[in-house]
C-alpha cells in the first residue's frame, strides 16, 4: 500500500510541479505524507459539496485540480471559506494534493485533453513563460473545418448556454489553439499560431484585442474548458497509486448557472 508521499511523488514524476509558477501551489497542501493512502478521491475543485461527501465517506487522500489554498493564511477557522474547507478536511482526516498548471502542461493532461476534444492534428505546445516559470499550458494544431464546426463541437461538449464566440462562423480554420481555464493572457501568442483560440474567462477588452489581431475567440467558460481533462486526471491518479479512485469530478464547480 503506498504512502501519501509515494502517490505525490509518482504524480509529480508525470507532471513536474517544480516547474510551475510561484503563485500556483502544486503538491501536498494538507496532511501527513507518511500516512498510507488506502483510499483516494479526485475532484475538479474542493467545493462545499465535495467536502460534505468526504465527511460522510472519508478517504485518506483527495487529489484536486483547482488549488484550495492560494494565499498564505494565519488561521483555519470553521467558516465558509477556502480556509474553512481546509479545516473540515483536516478534521475528517483527509490529506490534500494539488496538480494544476503542471497537469495542464503534462502529456495527456488538461491541455492535451482539450486539444483531443477538437480532434487537432500535429499538436504542439505553446504558452511557456520562463520568466514566471509558467509551463506550456496551451496547445495548437491543425484543424479541418470552419468556425461554425468549432462552435458545434463546443456546443455539443459543453452546451450552448454561456458559450461566447467572436468571428465569422463561415470563416475556414486551418489552425486552432486551446488553453484550459483562463487563457486570455496568451492571445497575442495564439494569434501568431492559429486563427481561433478556445479558452475561458475572456474579458470584453481582451476579446477586442484578439479581434484586432485577426484571432477569433471561442469561450465556453473557465470550468468547461478544463472538464475534458478531469477523466485523464482520474486515470493518472489511479496509475500512480494502484488504488481504486473515487471519482468526484462530476461534482461540477461552475460558478455561473
pTM of the model: 0.96
Does residue 218 form part of some domain? yes
**Tens of pLDDT along 124-162?**
999 999 999 999 999 999 999 999 999 999 999 999 888
Lowest-confidence range among 3-12, 79-88, 173-182, 247-256? 247-256
What is the chain's mean pLDDT, rounded?
Answer: 96
Residues 187/207, Cβ–Cβ less than 8 Å: no
Quick one: 119 and 74 in the same domain?
no
Quick one: 196 and 129 in the same domain?
yes
**Tens of pLDDT along 71-83?**
888 999 999 999 9
Instruction: State the average pLDDT over residues 237-256.
Output: 93
Quick one: 208 and 132 in the same domain?
yes
Quick one: 94 and 110 in the same domain?
no
Does residue 255 form part of some domain? no
Quick one: 108 and 39 in the same domain?
no
Q: Which pLDDT does position 256 carry in this prediction? A: 80
Q: Which pLDDT does position 136 carry in this prediction? A: 98
Residues 223/17, Cβ–Cβ less than 8 Å: no
Q: All 3 cell numbers of residue 79? A: 467558516
Q: Which pLDDT does position 254 carry in this prediction? A: 81
Does residue 254 form part of some domain? no
Does residue 27 form part of some domain? yes
Does residue 252 form part of some domain? no
- What is the domain range of residue 141? 104-225
Please give the span between the terminal C-alpha atoms of the chain, in angstroms, as a whole number.
Answer: 41
Q: Which pLDDT does position 257 carry in this prediction? A: 72
Quick one: 49 and 116 in the same domain?
no
Quick one: 181 and 237 in the same domain?
no
Quick one: 82 and 137 in the same domain?
no
Instruction: State the average pLDDT over residues 234-240.
Output: 98
Quick one: 171 and 241 in the same domain?
no
Does residue 166 form part of some domain? yes
pLDDT at 87 over 90: yes
Please state at what angle helix 110-117 crosses helix 230-241, rounded to 10 degrees. 130
Does residue 115 form part of some domain? yes
Quick one: 109 and 163 in the same domain?
yes
Measured CA distances, 73 to 68, 83, 84, 216 (Å): 12, 8, 11, 40
Does residue 113 form part of some domain? yes
Q: All 3 cell numbers of residue 230? A: 478531469
Quick one: 80 and 116 in the same domain?
no
Read off the CATH number of the domain in which 43 is found: 3.40.1390.30
Question: What is the total count of domains within the chain?
Answer: 2
Q: Which pLDDT does position 162 carry in this prediction? A: 87
**Three-class secondary structure of residue 199 per DSSP:** strand
Quick one: 141 and 70 in the same domain?
no
Amino acid at each position: 500500500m503506498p504512502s501519501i508521499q509515494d502517490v505525490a511523488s509518482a504524480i509529480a514524476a508525470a507532471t513536474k510541479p517544480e516547474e510551475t509558477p510561484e503563485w500556483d501551489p502544486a503538491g501536498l497542501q494538507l496532511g501527513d505524507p507518511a500516512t498510507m493512502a488506502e483510499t483516494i478521491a479526485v475532484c475538479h475543485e474542493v467545493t462545499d459539496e465535495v467536502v460534505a461527501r468526504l465527511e460522510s465517506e472519508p478517504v485518506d487522500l483527495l487529489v484536486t485540480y483547482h488549488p484550495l489554498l492560494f494565499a498564505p493564511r494565519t488561521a483555519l477557522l470553521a467558516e465558509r471559506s477556502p480556509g474553512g474547507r481546509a479545516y473540515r478536511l483536516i478534521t475528517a482526516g483527509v490529506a490534500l494534493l494539488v496538480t494544476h498548471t503542471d497537469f495542464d502542461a503534462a502529456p495527456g493532461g488538461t491541455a492535451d485533453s482539450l486539444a483531443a476534444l477538437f480532434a487537432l492534428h500535429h499538436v504542439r505546445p505553446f504558452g511557456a513563460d520562463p520568466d514566471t516559470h509558467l509551463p506550456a499550458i496551451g496547445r495548437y494544431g491543425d484543424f479541418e473545418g470552419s468556425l461554425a464546426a468549432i462552435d458545434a463541437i463546443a456546443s455539443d461538449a459543453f452546451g450552448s448556454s454561456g458559450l461566447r464566440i467572436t468571428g465569422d462562423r463561415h470563416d475556414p480554420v486551418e489552425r486552432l489553439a486551446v488553453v484550459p481555464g483562463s487563457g486570455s493572457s496568451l492571445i497575442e501568442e495564439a494569434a501568431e499560431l492559429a486563427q481561433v483560440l478556445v479558452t475561458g474567462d475572456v474579458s470584453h477588452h481582451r476579446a477586442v484585442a484578439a479581434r484586432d489581431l485577426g484571432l477569433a475567440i471561442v469561450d465556453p467558460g473557465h470550468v468547461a474548458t478544463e472538464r475534458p481533462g478531469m477523466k485523464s486526471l482520474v486515470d493518472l491518479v489511479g496509475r500512480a497509486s494502484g488504488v481504486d479512485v473515487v471519482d468526484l469530478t462530476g461534482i461540477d464547480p461552475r460558478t455561473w448557472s
